[in-house]
Amino acid sequence: MVTSIPAMADSRLRRIQTAEALTAAGYPTSPATLATMATRGGGPPYQLYGRVPVYRWSDALAWAEARLSLPVRSTAEADVARSRQQVGPLRDEAEAPQAA
């Protein structure tokens, strides 16, 4: 059972250990979330050791960090940032000709 953050970036962790280490690092994650994302996609990359999924610590940490939003100062600011992410680029940016 991992109760702390792994010291080595290349450490290989089982699913439960990965969830515990991510939670200890400040990214609350359950083993069930990792299992669901392993089947549906969107989770951190993993490898199989026989039938056992193992996660490289640096990959799991990078995945968790990528899920963070940009810093905001209020919930209103967070709502605006979230709506921009869902809508995508502004119309002018999407229609702008790309450099060849």
- C-alpha–C-alpha distance, residues 95 and 92, integer Å: 5
- The reported pLDDT for the residue numbered 69 is 85
- The reported pLDDT for the residue numbered 21 is 96
Does any domain span residue 6? Answer: no
With 70 as the cut, is the pLDDT of residue 89 above it? no
With 80 as the cut, is the pLDDT of residue 35 above it? yes
Does any domain span residue 2? Answer: no
Residue 85: helix, strand or coil by DSSP? helix
Does any domain span residue 64? Answer: yes
Does any domain span residue 27? Answer: yes
- C-alpha–C-alpha distance, residues 58 and 44, integer Å: 10
Does any domain span residue 4? Answer: no
Number of domains within the chain: 1
Q: What is the pTM of this model?
A: 0.74
Question: Which residue range forms the structural domain that includes residue 76?
Answer: 12-88
Interval 31-54 mean pLDDT: 97
With 90 as the cut, is the pLDDT of residue 55 above it? yes
Strand order of the β-sheet with 12-14 is 12-14, 52-56, 47-49
